Amino acid sequence: IVNVTNDAWFGDTPGPYQHFRQAQIRAVENGLPLLRAANNGISAIVDSRGRIIDALAVNARGAIDAHVPVSGRALLSPEQRHFNGLLIMLLFALMASTLNVRQRLRVN
């Protein structure tokens, strides 16, 4: 996940920290590493488990040179994974209903 952001408008508030934590949660939620570049916020590299590999503080100038771990898993969002399971269950329910209707028609 790449997150390029302008956190300057937050000013001297907890906003940049909250914004960074939200991005960190997205990395965990999707199981993907996060590369975050913020002009006045927190720039960081976060792994797929939410661990901060390297970071620059709020308003810090600099560059991050770090290894970005890449997961080998399929790139499916949580919604896609749930949808696929739901679709399979619905197909099985449809097949069971079809077989049930066929058996009732044969009996009659």
- Summarize pLDDT for 10-44 with one digit per residue, the tens: 988 999 999 999 999 999 988 889 999 999 999 99
pLDDT at res. 79? 75
pLDDT of 74 higher than 90: no
Q: Using the CB atoms, write b or e for 24-53: b if 16+ within 10 Å.
A: bebbeebbbbbbbebebbbbbbbbbeeeeb
User: Any idea where the domains of the chain sit in the sequence?
Assistant: 1-74, 76-108
pLDDT of 75 higher than 80: no
pLDDT at res. 2? 95
Length of the chain: 108
HSE-up of residue 77 (Cα within 13 Å, Cβ side):
5
pLDDT at res. 107? 80
Kindly report the backbone phi and psi dihedral angles of residue 17, in degrees, each rounded to the nearest multiple of 5, phi listed first.
Answer: -70, -40
Selected residue with higher pLDDT from 70 and 93: 93
